[in-house]
Copies of this chain bind each other. A is one copy, B any other.
Amino acid sequence: MNREQIRVLLQDVADQTCDVDQALGLLRDMPFEDATVALIDHHRALRTGIPEIIYGAGKTPEQIVMIVERMLASAGHAIVTRASRGAAEAVQQRFPQAHDYAVAHMLAVGEFPPPGPGPFVAVVSAGTSDLGVAEEAALTVELLGTRVERIYDVGVAGVHRLLEQRQRLWQAGCVIAVAGMEGALATVVGGLVDCPTLAVPTSVGYGVSLNGLAALLSMLNSCAPGVSVVNIDNGFGAGVCAHMILRGNRCV
């Protein structure tokens, strides 16, 4: 029962074509998703402005094309993460205007707002092997409309390379630190800046890197203030977090 239906019901009560107990019964039995919960959803959509994202892993190119179509129709744009080459080609064949971000394994179709003028997110990565995850984070932030600065290849085994970038880091409103191996980057970055640091462990490494678990544990145990962590390789998740943090900054 949506708003309009409730209005009609109330009008019927006002018109006395429906008596009070009957209306009460209808209201009580109404699936509350119609009256109330659906509002949550609507409300959310209005406030967040975050388009639904298609998680491409484990979906066939055909499925992805189909979902993109549906999302374009309803929302005017679509983002695909973890897109295989096959998915990228299928989407581009169907939507020649689609952007294929191969390094980040992402696709974007439709219109996206240009990043606004507010504070930016600094995406910092340790090694070239972390590039894919770093780009997934950076692109997510940009597609959501927030500005990004990329500071790549500044692993802490040569800590001076990172220190050289401290001026840019100090201007950021939020830092995303992407690192595999021992994940020490998040701690050193977190100790340099005074804005929130989102740490993204990557599955880069070998031996007991345990597919990123070593970096994850390292980051969770960081002794630097203001560091929180997302799942291994979850550049997208970090991007959404960072955008949410800076959106608060910007609008207020």
Measured CB to CB, the residues of A under 8 A from B are 3, 6-7, 10-11, 13-14, 16, 19-21, 23-24, 27-28, 30-33, 35-41, 43-44, 47-48, 50, 57-59, 118-119, 126-129, 155-161, 163-164, 166-167, 170, 173-174, 181-184, 186-188, 190-192, 194-196, 198, 201, 203-210, 212-234, 237-238, 240-241, 244-246, 248-250, 252
**Can you list 10 pairs linking A and B with CB atoms under 8 Å apart?**
A7-B20, A7-B21, A11-B20, A13-B14, A35-B36, A50-B225, A182-B220, A196-B241, A207-B216, A208-B231
Beta-carbon contact of B231 and A238 below 8 Å: no
**A38–B28 Cα gap in the complex (Å)?**
11
Contacts of A246 in B (CB 8 A): 248
Query: Are the C-beta atoms of A160 and B41 separated by less than 8 Å?
Result: yes
Identify the interface centre among A6, A226, A228, A241: most chain B CB within 10 Å of its CB. Answer: A228
By beta carbon, the residue of chain B nearest A246 is B248
Please tell me how many copies of the chain the complex holds: 8
Query: Which of A47, A184, A226, A245 lies at the interface centre, i.e. has the most chain B CB atoms within 10 A of its CB?
Result: A184
* A158 and B37 alpha carbons, distance in the complex (Å): 10
- Chain B residue with Cβ nearest A48: B194
Q: What separation, in Å, do the CA atoms of A246 and B174 have in the docked complex? A: 12
A36, B47: Cβ atoms closer than 8 Å:
no
Asked whether A225 and B250 contact (CB < 8 A) given A24-B6, A220-B230, A231-B208, the answer is no
Contact across chains for B183 and A182 when beta carbons are under 8 A apart = yes
The 7 closest A-B CB pairs, nearest first, are A184-B184, A207-B232, A207-B231, A33-B164, A37-B160, A157-B191, A214-B217
Smallest CB gap from A233: residue in B = B207
Alpha-carbon gap, A213 to B50, bound state (A): 30
**Contacts A159-B192, A194-B44 given: A57-B206 contact, CB under 8 Å?**
yes
Cβ-defined contact, A157 with B231, below 8 A: no
B248, A173: Cβ atoms under 8 Å?
yes
Interface centre among A32, A221, A227, A229 (most CB of B within 10 A): A221
